Amino acid sequence: MAKQAKARKRSTFSWVMEFAGTRRSSYVISVLLAIANVVCGFIPFLYLANIVRRLLEGTADFSYCLTQVLYMGLFWVLSRLFHTFSTTMSHKATFEVLAGIRRQLTRKLARMPLGDVLDESSGTYKNIIVERVDSMETTLAHMIPEVTSNLLIPFVIFGYMVSIDWRLALLSLLTVPVGFACFALMMRGMKEDYTNTIVKTKALNDTAVEYINGIEVIKAFGKAKTSYDKFVTAAKEGSDCFVQWMRRCNVYQNTAMAVLPATLLPLLPFGVSYFMNGSVTAPDLVMLIILAMGLITPFIMASNYMDDLSKCGTIIGEVTTILTKPELKRPERLAQSPVGTTICLNDVHFAYKEEEVLHGVNLTIEEGTVNALVGPSGSGKSTIAKLIASFWDVDSGEITFGGTDIRDIPLDDYQHRIAYVSQDNYLFDLSVMENIRLGNPKATDAQVIEAAKACGCHDFIMQLENGYQTICGGAGGHLSGGERQRISIARAMLKNAPVIILDEATAYTDPENEALVQQSVAKLVKGRTLLVIAHRLSTIASADQIILINNGRVEASGTQQELLDSSDLYRSMWHAHIAAKEAEDVA
Ligand SMILES: Nc1ncnc2c1ncn2[C@@H]1O[C@H](COP(=O)(O)OP(=O)(O)OP(=O)(O)O)[C@@H](O)[C@H]1O
């Protein structure tokens, strides 16, 4: 915690510098080019001053003016070139920095306990990783060179004005403190306002995602109006917070915009008076008027980035909040290689938040055996399976794999040893071929097809519109539940992990599908260790070990016959299952 707090205290700038990493030098060069752009953009004013001076002295001639104008043009072209090189460099660097931030975030999500990731609504991380990180592009790519140059220009112009006449130079700044005060008032509360818009926009996104994801339930239960009202309210709150923010800023911003550029107001009367008493020459006065008109505009352009900067700070805050979240602590290297694949849980306690759900679980899953976790709903079966799959760390006790505590096994290494087939059977919006290949990205097409054949998927895949190239649709929506599960099993088979954890789906209980899924599972587990969370007891009757979980504890374990003989709870579950099956068969 202390480490987290310390990490969070780092300034936005230091995070940006860290994210910039090897691209820091590109930003430095971009800034130097921006400065060259400013210098080249300013030099034409010196040539202009020469022309004005000659005109007012009556000594100007065409060839002199033409030469000066040609020089002016040359420096403007140079200025543009420097600007182009500067922004190109900063854009290139920014795209790499943003890609780096995204890489860090996705790597971090993989290292965080799954529970922390799942506790957030599905849109949150996507919003941060995709949209909000993307929205920093303009600020980072433009702000660094453009703000540098726009802030530098007024200083250069002001320095030149001072060299002409320091009194009039200072007078031209008379309105600046008022403008600055308005900007300061506008910036007050800017972070809170922006954070508020993020919260409201997030609520709107979440409501939209919930509405779309739950559309079937909403329709089935006639909740369309309630859900739509919730969405409308979120949309209204979202727009209200933007309007309020704009209203608060409007007065200050408009006053600042009106007051700041009014540099001529104090300069003109005093300038004319100094000219009349001979303390400033006509060419100098004209030059000062021209320079004063260009004094503040670059500053105003730079100030346009101020709210972007504040937004950037908020986004970096969100990114760093994720990056400083606790991780599953795993070593980079394996110190002691596991021997075999036997899994032991020794006095395992676990709580999701405050409330403990596992209270001292002890069990052993022997290598090469078929094991089933059974028990009432909410007893802790999935939690045990997910702890074994290393989705979370135990609070106390230990889980060993081949004699090694799984916290001592690198995450990548461990993931190769375990294949977890969940009930969700999530399929990506890719082809069937690619979805199966996720199990082993190096597998050839022939190996993918072989795995599909082994799991009995090949025939139904060939009947799909484009065979293995059929796109599964978002979350596999183009396939039936049973088909999705069998593809997930083929994926696990291709992974070829020695231990398989299978959260048996309850949804696809029609006999035909059940038989097909069972056949797939039987092929999948040949020669491997299987831990299945079984909801239908008939499917695990021949398991080597059935582990009965009740209220977060192991109530009994043994073969089906041993449990029928020794456990009242298992016996009653078995009878209830048989009765339900008979009722199904009659129906
Ligand atoms: N992500 C979570 N956050 C908080 N509590 C959770 C979470 N997942 C599960 N629980 C709680 O932990 C307890 C055990 O849940 P678990 O899913 O392990 O039970 P289960 O035996 O697999 O249930 P089922 O058979 O219904 O799937 C339950 O009280 C459940 O409400």
Tens digit of each residue's pLDDT (9 = 90 or more) over 290-343: 888 878 877 777 777 777 777 777 788 888 888 888 888 888 888 788 899 999
The tokens describing 255, both together, are 């006053």
Nearest alpha carbon, ligand 1 atom 18: 380
Residue 100 beta carbon below 6 angstroms from any ligand 1 atom: no
Cα(504) to centroid(ligand 1), Å: 15
Cα(384) to centroid(ligand 1), Å: 10
How far does the chain reach from its first CA to its final CA, in angstroms? 57
Q: DSSP per residue over 77-132, as a string?
A: HHHHHHHHHHHHHHHHHHHHHHHHHHHHHHHHHHHS-HHHHHHS-HHHHHIIIIII
Strand partners, 343: 365, 401
pLDDT digits over 38-85, tens only? Answer: 888 888 888 888 888 888 888 878 898 999 999 999 999 999 999 899
Q: Does residue 548 contact residue 556 with C-beta atoms inside 8 Å?
A: yes
Residue 115 beta carbon below 6 angstroms from any ligand 1 atom: yes
| Edge-to-edge strands, sheet with 343-351 | 356-365, 343-351, 396-401, 404-405
Cα(56) to centroid(ligand 1), Å: 88
Residue 352 beta carbon below 6 angstroms from any ligand 1 atom: yes
Question: Rounded to an integer, what distance in angstroms lies between the CA atom of residue 357 and that of residue 424?
Answer: 22
In sequence order, what are the residues at sequence separation of 6 or more whose Cβ sits closer than 8 angstroms to the Cβ of residue 52? Answer: 283, 286, 287, 290
Q: Does residue 438 contact residue 428 with C-beta atoms inside 8 Å?
A: yes
Cα(421) to centroid(ligand 1), Å: 17
**To the nearest whole percent, how much of the chain has pLDDT over 70?**
88
Residue 551 beta carbon below 6 angstroms from any ligand 1 atom: no
Pocket test for ligand 1, best of 349, 382, 504, 547 (most atoms within 8 A of CB): 382
pLDDT digits over 244-263, tens only? Answer: 888 888 888 888 888 877 88
For residue 384, give the ligand 1 atom closest to its CA.
Answer: 18
**Window from 9-13, 315-319, 544-548 with minimum mean pLDDT:** 9-13
Q: What is the pLDDT of residue 511?
A: 59
Residue 422 beta carbon below 6 angstroms from any ligand 1 atom: no
Residue 558 beta carbon below 6 angstroms from any ligand 1 atom: no
Residue 550 beta carbon below 6 angstroms from any ligand 1 atom: no
Nearest to 30 by CA among 87, 97, 80, 78: 87
- What's at 188, amino acid-wise? R
Question: Rounded to an integer, what distance in angstroms lies between the CA atom of residue 454 and that of residue 435?
Answer: 16
Nearest to 134 by CA among 90, 108, 101, 92: 101
For residue 119, give the ligand 1 atom closest to its CA.
Answer: 1
The tokens describing 402, both together, are 């081949």
The tokens describing 10, both together, are 């780092």
pLDDT digits over 383-401, tens only? Answer: 999 899 888 889 999 999 9
pLDDT digits over 143-169, tens only? Answer: 777 787 778 888 888 998 999 999 999
Residue 381 beta carbon below 6 angstroms from any ligand 1 atom: yes
Residue 371 beta carbon below 6 angstroms from any ligand 1 atom: no
Question: Which is higher by pLDDT, 398 or 142?
Answer: 398
Q: What is the pLDDT of residue 397?
A: 94
For residue 355, give the ligand 1 atom closest to its CA.
Answer: 5
pLDDT digits over 194-246, tens only? Answer: 778 878 887 887 788 777 777 666 666 666 666 677 778 888 888 888 888 88
Nearest alpha carbon, ligand 1 atom 30: 378
Residue 382 beta carbon below 6 angstroms from any ligand 1 atom: yes
Residue found under tokens 């130079």 = 169
Pocket test for ligand 1, best of 348, 357, 540 (most atoms within 8 A of CB): 357
- Averaged pLDDT of the chain: 82
- Give yes or no for residue 3 having a pLDDT over 60: no
Residue 511 beta carbon below 6 angstroms from any ligand 1 atom: no
Residue 228 beta carbon below 6 angstroms from any ligand 1 atom: no
Residue 463 beta carbon below 6 angstroms from any ligand 1 atom: no
Cα(146) to centroid(ligand 1), Å: 53
Q: What are the b/e assignments for 386-405, b being 16+ CB within 10 Å?
A: bbbbbbbbbeebebbbbebe
CA torsion sign for 468, 473, 479, 481 is positive
Domains parsed from the chain with CATH numbers:
2-175+260-323 (1.20.1560.10), 343-424+495-586 (3.40.50.300)
Pocket test for ligand 1, best of 377, 383, 503, 531 (most atoms within 8 A of CB): 383
**Window from 3-17, 101-115, 164-178 with minimum mean pLDDT:** 3-17
In sequence order, what are the residues at sequence separation of 6 or more whose Cβ sits closer than 8 angstroms to the Cβ of residue 436? Answer: 448, 451, 452, 487, 490, 491, 494
Average pLDDT over residues 126-140: 80
Cα(376) to centroid(ligand 1), Å: 11
